[in-house]
Structure 1
Amino acid sequence: MSRDSTASLSAGLGRRDFLAAASVALSGGLAGCTGVFAAEGNQVNIAGSSTVFPVTEAIASAFSEKNPTINLSLSKTGTGGGFGNFFCAGRTDINNASRSIADAEIDQCDDSGVTPLEFPVATDALTVVVNPDADWVDCLTVEQLHEIWRADGAERWSDINESWPDQEFELYGAATTSGTFDYFNEAILGEEANHTGDYYATERDRSIVQGVRGSQNAIGYFGFAYYSENPDRIKAVSIDNGNGCVEPSIETAKTGEYKPLSRPLFIYVAKESLTQPAVRDFVRFYMDQATTDLVSDVGYVPITETQRDENLEKLESAIEEVTE
């Protein structure tokens, strides 16, 4: 049942279709292109995490309204796919990331002459979802999630709780190139277990919504933003980390109550791309907007003004170094 998928941005944007009118060029074909994708003139190229994508998408729309001559190309490739295939190969200027860059990816970037600069842009409440008709489950412990998602783990709902249906799980989750996959692995499975391969794996988070909505026995996970735009189609599961059940929300992620699935979200900027005015202008704009309702409106916690100021100080220092 395991399948990996790379998302085309133009498909299924739903309420975000306004981007076309805002003159943001959406590209779903980065994986099939050759040549250098680093910024040239008024072009900024962005790939990476599908979780961070809604934030970058919203900020890109606002930026394009003010800067219609700058072309922004966005693609969902997964965090790891973005780093490995595009950003660290010098083919994109920015990588959306739902986890920190790995040591091997830093080495790859270094080999290509790319210097990654990390900027936190939001906090996510990674969300476990089930079908609305799955009335037997409203909360799961971390241990139960571990059993559901580990290789050679539980296969049926009744394996978790004997009073639950004697039906096989239908599992939907992030592809292995995704930072969401990596974070879920670390937070729920740990070092002692491997993630099951018997699941529908995709970078198309809306496909997870559709899959879970279509089966009473389904369970999946993804960033909170994709739940927040579909609360009537799927049901979010509370998580018990040992101190009682806590619902995923902007509020519980902000306070730190939602553990262990609250996580920071990032963009990584190639320092070398900051020689281009278009990239500099967009990243400055991004940092300013990351404290606003543009972030909370898509379902994440904005960064604080202190974090913004730290980001801007780091950015301006890098710009000075590459333009002096």
Structure 2
Amino acid sequence: MAGCSSVFAAEDDQVNIAGSSTVFPVTEAIGSAFSEEHPTVNVSISKTGTGGGFGNFFCAGRTDVNNASREIADAEIDQCGNNDITPLEFTVATDALTVVVNPEADWIDCLTVEELREIWRADGAERWSDINEDWPDEELELYGAATTSGTFDYFNEAVLGEDINHKSDYYATERDRTIVQGVQGSEYAMGYFGFSYYSENPDSIKAVSIDDGNGCVEPSTETAMSGEYTPLSRPLFIYVAKESLADSAVRDFARFYMERAATDLVSDVGYVPITEDQRDENLERLEEQVAEVNG
């Protein structure tokens, strides 16, 4: 992408970003548009997972922005504080976390939350027929988010709950396209990730509707926006280091991001943009912080 690189470099007019692979498509699209208007600024984006981004980069003072598919954890706030980093949270989109299967899996179109929990919990189902005796007596082949991922944390909380552990015997990765390829390659595979990665591949993988007690609801930007798609619709965030707002390039990028998060740049990559009211709240809060840093 013009003006963007995938490695970090220490130089003037540099904005360094790490974190969530789910939020990556939003930040990539907005970063590309920003670079077209600010060709002298290098926007560097890396996929590290939400937790990996906070722990290894943002709270360590190595990046200005962290993409996050969950809220920052207390331990991460403490780590940031120990390094004199003040994380500023901004909601930038809504995602419909999507469960996908192979298109040849014609026996499944919808799962209840309970069935989904049975598939993904530790010591849970091992074969499709364990969920429904009419389904194939074939081993489940599961692809999902790595434990450093905010998507893993959110799925754990929304589907499994506090008292149930996520399966450990599955293909765990930070690379969502690896999950796409795994599900494409096996009739008995299942995976989950942000809606954007499904929307790129709607003909080669199949989205599963989710029944949270009120009937089957397909994942989509519309059902995420309306609140119908539960419990797997979720807010997406970026965190900006307050101290980095002393840098004009980071200030300009943050303002640009807040403005564009309410536009088709977000919907074009498969997520729900923030509202104009949310945009205005974000910008007002950002300017307050900028004034404090540069006052």
TM tier, smaller: over 0.9
Are 1:216 and 2:216 an aligned pair?
Answer: no
The residue number in structure 2 matching 1:190 is 161
Whole-angstrom distance in 1 between the partners of 2:35 and 2:82? 33
Whole-angstrom distance in 1 between the partners of 2:37 and 2:70? 30
The residue number in structure 2 matching 1:247 is 218
- The SS at the match of 1:306 is helix
Whole-angstrom distance in 1 between the partners of 2:177 and 2:201? 9
The residue number in structure 1 matching 2:124 is 153
The residue number in structure 2 matching 1:99 is 70
The residue number in structure 2 matching 1:318 is 289
Whole-angstrom distance in 1 between the partners of 2:141 and 2:291? 52
In 2, are the aligned partners of 1:55 and 1:294 still within 8 Å (CA)?
A: yes
Whole-angstrom distance in 2 between the partners of 1:40 and 1:70? 10
Deviations 1:87-141 (A, max 9, x none): 0000000000000000000000000100000000000000000000000000000
Are 1:26 and 2:21 an aligned pair?
Answer: no
TM-aligned CA deviation for residue 24 of structure 1: 1.6
TM-aligned CA deviation for residue 41 of structure 1: 2.3
Whole-angstrom distance in 1 between the partners of 2:44 and 2:268? 22
Whole-angstrom distance in 2 between the partners of 1:192 and 1:281? 44
In 2, are the aligned partners of 1:142 and 1:241 still within 8 Å (CA)?
A: yes
Whole-angstrom distance in 1 between the partners of 2:202 and 2:174? 20
In 2, are the aligned partners of 1:293 and 1:302 still within 8 Å (CA)?
A: yes
Instruction: Give the number of aligned pairs.
Output: 295
Q: TM-score, normalising length from structure 1? A: 0.90
In 2, are the aligned partners of 1:114 and 1:271 still within 8 Å (CA)?
A: yes
Q: TM-score, normalising length from structure 2? A: 0.99
Matches within 5 A, 1:172-187: 172-187=143-158
Are 1:48 and 2:19 an aligned pair?
Answer: yes
Amino acid of the structure 2 residue aligned with 1:173:
G
| Structure 1 residue runs of 4 or more that deviate by more than 2 Å after TM superposition | none
CA RMSD of aligned residues (A): 0.9
Deviations 1:195-232 (A, max 9, x none): 00000000110000000000000000000000000001
- The SS at the match of 1:185 is helix
The residue number in structure 2 matching 1:137 is 108
The residue number in structure 1 matching 2:134 is 163
Whole-angstrom distance in 2 between the partners of 1:91 and 1:40? 13
Gaps of 5+ in 1: 1-18, 31-36
Gaps of 5+ in 2: none
Matches within 5 A, 1:193-272: 193-272=164-243
Amino acid of the structure 2 residue aligned with 1:220:
G
- The SS at the match of 1:310 is helix
Matches within 5 A, 1:72-111: 72-111=43-82
Deviations 1:20-67 (A, max 9, x none): xx222222xx6xxxxxx7x75200000000000000000001000111
Whole-angstrom distance in 2 between the partners of 1:86 and 1:286? 20
Amino acid of the structure 1 residue aligned with 2:87:
P
Whole-angstrom distance in 2 between the partners of 1:57 and 1:187? 27
Whole-angstrom distance in 2 between the partners of 1:131 and 1:48? 28
The residue number in structure 1 matching 2:96 is 125
The residue number in structure 2 matching 1:300 is 271
Whole-angstrom distance in 2 between the partners of 1:263 and 1:186? 11
TM-aligned CA deviation for residue 69 of structure 1: 0.4
Whole-angstrom distance in 2 between the partners of 1:141 and 1:45? 40
TM-aligned CA deviation for residue 151 of structure 1: 0.3
Whole-angstrom distance in 1 between the partners of 2:198 and 2:173? 16
In 2, are the aligned partners of 1:41 and 1:276 still within 8 Å (CA)?
A: no
Amino acid of the structure 1 residue aligned with 2:145:
A
- The SS at the match of 2:279 is helix
Pick one of 240, 248, 257 that aligns with 1:277.
Answer: 248
Whole-angstrom distance in 2 between the partners of 1:177 and 1:25? 22
- The SS at the match of 1:108 is helix
TM-aligned CA deviation for residue 248 of structure 1: 0.1
- The SS at the match of 1:291 is coil
The residue number in structure 2 matching 1:116 is 87
Whole-angstrom distance in 1 between the partners of 2:93 and 2:152? 18
